[in-house]
Each structure stands twice: as C-alpha cells, then as structure tokens.
Structure 1
C-alpha cells in the first residue's frame, strides 16, 4: 500500500537525528522554479500571498533567499524528522527502527507545496508554503496546477511498484487536491477518526490529525497491506465502527 500525509507548519531543524541516510526530492528541479518565484517576493508581498504575520513573512523571505538545490546536508533534515505538527506527534518518527524507516521510504509519501511530493528520507530546507497558496507559475494560476501532473505520476508509479491494493489517504483535503484520484490504479481509502463529545461522535481536528500519524506508523510497523488488516487498527483506544463506515471511508471511534 501507499500512504499519503500532509506536511506540517511546525518544523524542527535543531535536534539531531541519529539516522544519517538521506535522499534528494524527486522533483527538485521543479522546486527550483517555485523557489525562484518566492525569492522575488518582498516580505510584504509574501505576507499577503501566504496570509501570515509580518514576522513569519520576514522569516520565510529570509528562508527563500537562502534556499538552494540540490539540498545540502548542512542546514537541512530528512522530511520525516523535520515536520513536527499534530500528524507527526502521532507518527513519532524518532521511534521507528532503521528497517521500519526503510519500509516508510517505500510506503509513505508527504505532499508539499514546495517539493510536490517527498519520501520520508528526502532532505528539505526550512520553508513554509501551503499547497493552497495562489502563486501564479508557468503551469497555471496556483500550486495545484503546477504539481498535479507530477505528483499524480509519482503516486501512480509507486503504487504500481508496491502492488498497492488501495491508496491510504491520510492527508488533508487541501493537500490531496493535488492528486488526480481518477488516474490512480486502485481505490482511495480515507479513514475518519471521531471522538465522543456531548453524546455524539464528532471529528475534532487535533485528535484526527494525530490519529492519522498514529495510523501511518502502525501501518508501517505492521506491514499492513489489506483492508481486513487496516480495520484492526486500535491504537490510542480507537475502534473500527462497521455501521458508520463505507468501503472508502472506514470510521474509527473513540470514547
């Protein structure tokens, strides 16, 4: 199976990683064009483009001025260790063994506004660029137009190499929009995680994001390949709910 995750805004480029093996992003040459467009922006125009604060705009302006390709070892980090948001709290990449990271390198992909699609061990430099950013480019009006064909081709190729029976979509809607689901060689399965609140089961963003990372790690550790095995997911007290599930949206409840 192939797993898709979103990236994270929260980054960690300070702590050391014992695992030294790394790779270069598949579409690094395409990233160069996007980075060059962003290098031309002023802090004020970046603030408007990204919808961020003045301080974040200045930070990312400096980041893009320093960005380079190929990605150097100094100042960079493997993607799976660099991202530190809610999803990655669940993933806990630093607990994966070398063999499990090797499995992740084949089974896991992280979607990215700057890099298109990343393998876990692809090196990245600090950046911020959401996939929904309306950045005009040589392929269209936004990053979806820029990345859709490249990302879809990469996903299709890896699904075929893995013999994937389905694509496990644990990415957000914003990021999965860059994939042409109709072009995939197998169905898309997108689990839903819900919490009991005030007598009803609801999707709560923080918990759902963390659960996506937890499921990704569980799939990697257990070499999950089938739906029959996937619905056995029971980490952090979640349980599969057959009644509210469909083939494409298995529902996991907690509480």
Structure 2
C-alpha cells in the first residue's frame, strides 16, 4: 500500500533535525526543470508562479543559486502547509518514520514523486503551472506517466490524500490492476457533502499520522479513523471512495 499526498507551497530549510536518506527518484528530470527555470526572465517566472513581487523575488533568487545536491532537507520536514502541521512529523517516533518512509509518497511538480527522507531544496513550482518557451506546455505533459508508473511498480493499492491538481498525475493512468481509494472529508449540508479546503487539509494530515501511529497495512483499516470529529460513512462510500463526515454537534 502507498499513500499519496500533495506538497505545500511554503517550504523551509532544516538540515539539523534529521538527515536525509537519499536523492529523489527523478533527480535527472528535476535537473532539466531547474535549468529551464534558470533560463527564464524574472517576469516569466513570476507569471508561472502567479504570485506577488515579494514571493517572486525570493524564489527568483533561490533559482539562481539552486544546487540540487547541497544543503538538503528531508522532504517530510521541508513542507510547511496545514496538512504537514497536522501530520506533525517532527514529533514522530522512529517506527513512525520507518512507516512513512515505506508507505508515504509526496507528489511534486518539481521532483515528480518524493519519499519522506529524500533530500530536497526549497522550490516553487506547482503541478498546474504553465511552462513558457518550452517544447511542452504543462508539467503534466513533462512528467507524463512516469510518476504513475513508478508508484504502481511499488504497490497496486493507493490511498489518495492528494488534491485533484496532483492526484490526476496518477488517476489518469489507472488500470484494472490498481486499487485507488480517494478519501473524502466533508460535512453534510442540505443533503450534500461539502468539503471545506482548510478542514480537508487538516484531516489529510491527521489521516497520515493515524496510519503511521497505527501501522496501517490494509486499506480497510482506515475506516476506523475518528480524529477531528470525523467518522466513516459506509452508506456514502464505495470501493473507490471512502467518505468521512463531521459528527453533528
């Protein structure tokens, strides 16, 4: 079984807390993307990043001095979004780190796919970014089926905790031999399941923590997830979608 999650826009450098284990799977492809980005103007990069001048300047400077082999942070400690805050990997025990290193995969526009202890640099490149002046127009085209093929070579059972922007890198290439279960975290409002962005990110992080703490090996066992006031709803779920709703208070 493998768990897929999205990266976070906000990243940090932490070369002290834990050592990284290895370089990412697709480091050669990442080098191609890095050189492509280094060849773009500030305005082109700002357009790709779709951000303000402060963020664009920071990331432009990062690109100019980027070295993919020095001052690397374990991926799981590098991302700082809400999902990662609720996962709270910095307080994991050794067994939990071992669990996520085997089971957890972080999808990335820049790195393709990361294991938790792959060494990374800070970057900004979302999967849905439009490439400029390149022979491909999107990162989906750049990565094609490469990420999915690698993931499927590791396991034929995938727990999808990633956003649609990232999970489509995998779902587009599903075949009959792969079980792909998407977890939905929502509330029942006017007889409709409503997912709220921040709460979903919180729940995804808690689900990873839950799976690591309980050493979950069988996908059916995640149905017992009951954190942040969520409960599994069998009648709303099917073999490809597990629905968890907030309990009514």
> If the length of structure 2 is used for normalisation, what is the TM-score?
0.91
Whole-Å separation in 2 of the counterparts to 1:184 and 1:80: 31
Q: Which residue of 1 aligns with 2:219?
A: 227
Q: Check if 1:167 corresponds to 2:165.
A: no
How many aligned residue pairs are there? 246
Q: How far is 1:217 from its partner?
A: 1.8
The partner residue of 1:89 within 85, 91, 94 is: 85
Q: Check if 1:41 corresponds to 2:32.
A: no
Sort the Cα spacing of 1:250 and 1:33 in 2 relative to 1 into closer, same or farther, 3 A. same
Whole-Å separation in 1 of the counterparts to 2:91 and 2:76: 12
State the Cα deviation string for residues 183-214 of structure 1 (Å, max 9, x = none). 47321100100136689752110010111111
Structure 1: runs of 5+ lacking an equivalent: none
> If the length of structure 1 is used for normalisation, what is the TM-score?
0.89
Sort the Cα spacing of 1:13 and 1:150 in 2 relative to 1 into closer, same or farther, 3 A. same
Whole-Å separation in 2 of the counterparts to 1:120 and 1:184: 28
Q: Which residue of 2 aligns with 1:61?
A: 60
Q: Partner of 2:37: helix, strand, or coil?
A: helix
Q: Which residue of 1 aligns with 2:232?
A: 240
Q: Which residue of 1 aligns with 2:100?
A: 104
**Which consecutive segments of 4 or more residues in structure 1 shift more than 3 A?**
136-139, 195-201
Q: How far is 1:21 from its partner?
A: 4.2
Sort the Cα spacing of 1:184 and 1:211 in 2 relative to 1 into closer, same or farther, 3 A. farther
Q: How far is 1:86 from its partner?
A: 1.3
- Asked if the contact 2:106–2:114 (Cα under 8 Å) also holds between the matched residues in 1, the reply is yes
Q: Which residue of 1 aligns with 2:11?
A: 11
Whole-Å separation in 1 of the counterparts to 2:194 and 2:174: 29
